A and B are shown apart, each in its own frame.
Chain A
Amino acid sequence: MLNLTPYILLAPLVGFVVLGLFGRILPRVVISVIGCGVVLVAFALALADFFSMLGVGAAHRVSDVVPWLWLTSGNLSINFGLLSDPLSAVMLLIVTGVGFLIHVYSIGYMEDDPSYWRFFCFLNFFVFAMCLLVAADNFLMLLVGWAGVGLASFLLIGFWYTRPSAVAAARKAFVVNVIGDFGLMIALFLMYGAYGTFAYSGVLHGRLIDTPTLTAITLMLFVAAAAKSAQLPLHVWLPDAMEGPTPVSALIHAATMVTAGVYLVARAAPLFSAASTSMTVVAIVSGASALFAATIACVQTDIKRVLAYSTMSQLGYMFMGESVGGFSAGIYHLLTHAFFKALLFMCAGAVIHALGGEQDMRKMGGLRQKLGRTYVCFWAAALALAAIFPFSGFWSKDAILGAILAHAAASGGAGWYVLYIVGLLTAILTGFYIFRLVYLTFHGEYRGEPIVVAHGAHGGHGGHGAGRAAVSADPLAIVHEPGQTMLTPMYILAALSLIGGGFGASVLFNLSDLSTFLAPSTGSAPEPPTALFWLSLALSLICALSGVVFATLRYGSGQTYFVAEGQENALVRLLQRRYYVDDIYDAVIVRPIVAFGSWLRASLEEELDGGSRDIGDLVSGMGESLRGFQTGFTRNYAAYIFVGVILFVLFFLSTRP
């Protein structure tokens, strides 16, 4: 089978380098072609790899290519190696495929931006780093890719670096990510100590080691995953990361980067399967995150923040699936989530773009007529997210819930049933908040100000409508649909959201489906017995539908229930302040560290600066005192010479025999 992974990495890297060096002087068209073209090339190559993989039998679908040996030190030798196996093939397809669609979308979305080239340059770098992450054949190269995507996230969140809020958000994201990096590094150290190697072949299929070490390794890996995938308590960066441009949110914070944590846990599936304590921890954290985020999403007023919390909640779902051994189910949900979440962000971006930068839902409404096509795409994505039959989200979420139920039934622990209930509750809330979003944005009356400058991504930047200052009767007079470059990717993703369930459910690849395809890498997911299977199917559908119905009742005919400032009840306030997590962090962690830093700086300045200042003072003091010898009187100088002569004579007398 083919392993073209080096070239899949090479293409976006070339794009990054070329755009980085020459982007400033290239014309827009060339930048767009290069930026999107390299990702298209990567996608084509990934597709070729995938199809060649289908051609060989299940047991032989592993190919390891080592372009070069990175370093050797003593017994340790690390390769820059690239692995092509089912899991990495699926991930590469997602990254390059959805990445390509978002690149095309960005052509339209960022058209007014003066730093157009920089955006594509960073996006290409991100694609390169993410491909490296998923294609590495040892944990150390994974760490390299991990850090690379963290960097790309920082650069892209803070893309509009003149905004202080964007800079602060980028910094916050980076700091929280570094905590995850730290966890990953500790896991690597432990891994090296236990296995003596970093390669997947050595670690994942290696000898058995004792459970405490294994638990430690897997817990540290999960810390890294939690930081990258925004699970409690390291989730605080994700809502703020919405400061970046919407394509960034779509690609990085919905479809690919945040799923790196899910990928990591899936890749380390053999390790996790053997450490049941870690699995329990994963289950608890992910279940709590899913429910936590879903509740907060119900009261958010910013479109993108609703979607951010939704992402966190769905990531929780993926981890929940993985915590019961359903690693392939988690990856399946990753796949479908990439489709509909990216689509949701794209549609939100279209709305924002059309309204000239407005993101607050309280100022939206009644956009159904003006943005009809966006509205349709939004419905497709919302149905998929809410997991309504027969859309893609339904199949993947059901795979997860079914796996949980199967595990609960098989192991009999009450905790797993609680996890299942949590999953159902979150499903209800998911249906509720996403349709709340749809109704508030598109139905009812328009609640905002007249749009005079449309077509801007960041608040009135340039635009065609600037000339028409006259306010017509219709405040939305100049609002229009996004251009073709933005709509086409949306259509493609909408189609995938509708039929993407086929990857897991139907008999596409030689009578096998995604979980069977992934089994060599991740093991098989627990399958519930038939009765429980149908029960779980029915329950998840009922919960999802009930959420949707409730939202329709409350918001469907256009009434809004925005509570005025200061009049919320305690529950709503709790949710709006996001359970005060940010405030707790600020008080407990941020303030003491900042105070410590100030104290340290003051005392160090005093000690070190003062010390060097004291040395300077000492020298100049010596100079001052020696100055007394220069009296200017010739006789004094003669006297000094006289003293010297006497000393010389005395010395001469004392030494000669």
Chain B
Amino acid sequence: MLFQQIAFYVLAAVAIGSALGVIFFRNAVYCMLSLILNLLSLAFFFLTLEALFVATIQVLIYAGAVMVLFLFVVTMLAPSSNDDVTGRDRLRWQWGAGIGMGVILAVALCYAAFTGRLAADVKASGAASLAKQVASAGNTQAFGLALFHGYSFPFEVTGVLLVIAVLGAVALGRRSGAKE
């Protein structure tokens, strides 16, 4: 148990630290790298929560493919200098407002979490626990069974969504048609 607690605190610290890094670094590439660190720490969180398959796909897809895509774009659009955006900030007051609001939100939600408001009764739901017992045959198999037996329709829709996204990206990514 102690190990688990230590692991939790360490992971929490890394996650929060890297999140702060995302929003405070001036250089966009540093922000990018902080985000990757954040995603990896979250993957480890998933591992501690016994969601093996999800952790894996988080690393593979999110931290892997998506973030690489981000990196490409960041480097493509990098400003000439290493600084972040030039030009004065027209909305300086939003710094203070934003940070204040963030603090308020974090405090409110933590308060809600710790006083039990958010998860007043954490009971196991009956039918789903059955799926969990099936998981003893393997996490991936359990995930697959649930996905293709109970959630096949969302799965198909997601496929359509991805096709649309790809088409959109291709259409947006072209240079204006007249020149071609």
Q: A633-B91, A635-B91, A636-B94 are in contact. Are A643 and B101 (CB under 8 A)?
A: yes
| Of the residues B90, B98, B108, B117, contact of A639 by C-beta under 8 Å | B98
Does B97 make an interface contact (CB < 8 A)?
yes
Is B111 in contact with A633, judged by CB distance below 8 angstroms? Answer: no
Q: A633-B91, A656-B117 are in contact. Are A639 and B101 (CB under 8 A)?
A: yes
Is A653 in contact with B101, judged by CB distance below 8 angstroms? Answer: no
Shortest distance from the beta carbon of B85 to any chain A beta carbon, whole Å: 12
Q: A639-B101, A653-B117, A656-B117 are in contact. Are A646 and B94 (CB under 8 A)?
A: no
Chain B residues, CB < 8 A from A645 = 105
Does A7 make an interface contact (CB < 8 A)?
no
Give the A-B pair count, Cβ closer than 8 A. Answer: 30
Is A642 in contact with B94, judged by CB distance below 8 angstroms? Answer: no
CA distance A646 to B102 in the complex (A): 9
CA distance A639 to B94 in the complex (A): 8
Chain A residues, CB < 8 A from B164 = none
Is A653 in contact with B91, judged by CB distance below 8 angstroms? Answer: no
Is B94 in contact with A635, judged by CB distance below 8 angstroms? Answer: yes
Q: Which residue of B lies closest to A642 (CB)?
A: B101
B-side interface residues, number (CB < 8 Å) = 13
CA distance A646 to B99 in the complex (A): 13
| Of the residues B97, B98, B108, B117, contact of A650 by C-beta under 8 Å | B108
Q: A633-B91, A646-B105 are in contact. Are A653 and B111 (CB under 8 A)?
A: yes
Q: Annotate A476-489 by CB proximity to B: 1 below 8 A, 0 otherwise.
A: 00000000000000
Does A649 make an interface contact (CB < 8 A)?
yes
CA distance A304 to B47 in the complex (A): 119
Chain B residues, CB < 8 A from A653 = 108, 111-112, 117
Chain B residues, CB < 8 A from A635 = 91, 94
Please report which residues of chain B, range 94-135, place their CB below 8 angstroms from some CB of chain A when the two chains form the complex: 94, 97-98, 101, 104-105, 108-109, 111-112, 117
Is A646 in contact with B108, judged by CB distance below 8 angstroms? Answer: yes
Q: Which residue of A lies closest to B115 (CB)?
A: A653
Shortest distance from the beta carbon of B132 to any chain A beta carbon, whole Å: 29
Chain B residues, CB < 8 A from A633 = 90-91
CA distance A642 to B108 in the complex (A): 13
The residue among A633, A645, A653 with the most chain B CB atoms within 10 A of its own CB is A653
Q: Is the interface of B mostly helix, strand, loop or mixed?
A: helix
CA distance A42 to B117 in the complex (A): 99
Shortest distance from the beta carbon of B29 to any chain A beta carbon, whole Å: 22
Report the interface size class on chain A: 10 to 19
Q: Annotate A622-655 by CB proximity to B: 1 below 8 A, 0 otherwise.
A: 0000000000010110010011011001101100
CA distance A635 to B117 in the complex (A): 31
| Of the residues A636, A646, A656, contact of B104 by C-beta under 8 Å | A646
Chain A residues, CB < 8 A from B111 = 653
Shortest distance from the beta carbon of B106 to any chain A beta carbon, whole Å: 10
| Of the residues B91, B94, B97, B108, contact of A649 by C-beta under 8 Å | B108
Q: A633-B90, A633-B91, A653-B111 are in contact. Are A639 and B97 (CB under 8 A)?
A: yes
Is A649 in contact with B112, judged by CB distance below 8 angstroms? Answer: yes
Q: Which residue of B lies closest to A656 (CB)?
A: B117
Q: A653-B108, A656-B117 are in contact. Are A646 and B91 (CB under 8 A)?
A: no
CA distance A652 to B104 in the complex (A): 14
Chain B residues, CB < 8 A from A656 = 117
Chain B residues, CB < 8 A from A646 = 101, 104-105, 108
Q: Annotate A278-290 by CB proximity to B: 1 below 8 A, 0 otherwise.
A: 0000000000000
CA distance A646 to B111 in the complex (A): 13
Is A649 in contact with B109, judged by CB distance below 8 angstroms? Answer: yes
Chain A residues, CB < 8 A from B101 = 639, 642-643, 646
Shortest distance from the beta carbon of A630 to any chain B beta carbon, whole Å: 14
Q: Which residue of A lies closest to B108 (CB)?
A: A649
Q: Which residue of B lies closest to A645 (CB)?
A: B105
Shortest distance from the beta carbon of B31 to any chain A beta carbon, whole Å: 16
Chain A residues, CB < 8 A from B94 = 635-636, 639
Please report which residues of chain A, range 125-167, place their CB below 8 angstroms from some CB of chain B when the two chains form the complex: none
Chain A residues, CB < 8 A from B97 = 639
Shortest distance from the beta carbon of B107 to any chain A beta carbon, whole Å: 10
Chain B residues, CB < 8 A from A643 = 101
Shortest distance from the beta carbon of B59 to any chain A beta carbon, whole Å: 29
Shortest distance from the beta carbon of A599 to any chain B beta carbon, whole Å: 54
Q: Which residue of B lies closest to A657 (CB)?
A: B117
Shortest distance from the beta carbon of B99 to any chain A beta carbon, whole Å: 11
Is A636 in contact with B105, judged by CB distance below 8 angstroms? Answer: no
Q: Annotate B121-160 by CB proximity to A: 1 below 8 A, 0 otherwise.
A: 0000000000000000000000000000000000000000
CA distance A642 to B97 in the complex (A): 10
Chain A residues, CB < 8 A from B108 = 646, 649-650, 653
Q: Annotate B7-25 by CB proximity to A: 1 below 8 A, 0 otherwise.
A: 0000000000000000000
Shortest distance from the beta carbon of A273 to any chain B beta carbon, whole Å: 96
CA distance A227 to B90 in the complex (A): 81
CA distance A343 to B91 in the complex (A): 97
Please report which residues of chain A, range 23-78, place their CB below 8 angstroms from some CB of chain B when the two chains form the complex: none
Shortest distance from the beta carbon of B90 to any chain A beta carbon, whole Å: 7
CA distance A159 to B91 in the complex (A): 77
Chain A residues, CB < 8 A from B91 = 633, 635-636
Chain B residues, CB < 8 A from A650 = 108
CA distance A412 to B35 in the complex (A): 127
Chain B residues, CB < 8 A from A642 = 98, 101, 105
CA distance A642 to B105 in the complex (A): 9
Shortest distance from the beta carbon of A639 to any chain B beta carbon, whole Å: 6
CA distance A439 to B82 in the complex (A): 120
Q: Annotate B56-99 by CB proximity to A: 1 below 8 A, 0 otherwise.
A: 00000000000000000000000000000000001100100110
Shortest distance from the beta carbon of B126 to any chain A beta carbon, whole Å: 25
Shortest distance from the beta carbon of B117 to any chain A beta carbon, whole Å: 6
Q: Which residue of A lies closest to B109 (CB)?
A: A649
CA distance A653 to B117 in the complex (A): 8
CA distance A635 to B89 in the complex (A): 12
Is A649 in contact with B105, judged by CB distance below 8 angstroms? Answer: yes
Q: Which residue of A lies closest to B120 (CB)?
A: A656
Shortest distance from the beta carbon of A635 to any chain B beta carbon, whole Å: 6
CA distance A646 to B104 in the complex (A): 8
Q: Which residue of A lies closest to B111 (CB)?
A: A653
Shortest distance from the beta carbon of B96 to any chain A beta carbon, whole Å: 11
CA distance A652 to B94 in the complex (A): 26
Shortest distance from the beta carbon of B110 to any chain A beta carbon, whole Å: 11
CA distance A646 to B101 in the complex (A): 8
CA distance A653 to B97 in the complex (A): 22
Shortest distance from the beta carbon of A363 to any chain B beta carbon, whole Å: 90
Chain B residues, CB < 8 A from A652 = 112
Chain A residues, CB < 8 A from B117 = 653, 656
Q: Report which B residues bind A (CB closer than 8 A).
A: 90-91, 94, 97-98, 101, 104-105, 108-109, 111-112, 117
Knowing that A635-B91, A639-B94, A649-B105 touch, tell me 18 more A-B residue pairs with CB under 8 angstroms: A633-B90, A633-B91, A635-B94, A636-B91, A636-B94, A639-B101, A642-B98, A642-B105, A643-B101, A646-B101, A646-B104, A646-B105, A646-B108, A649-B108, A649-B112, A650-B108, A653-B111, A653-B112
A–B Cβ pairs within 8 angstroms, 7 of them: A633-B90, A633-B91, A636-B91, A642-B101, A646-B101, A646-B104, A652-B112
Closest 8 CB pairs of A and B: A649-B108, A646-B105, A642-B101, A653-B112, A646-B104, A656-B117, A646-B101, A650-B108
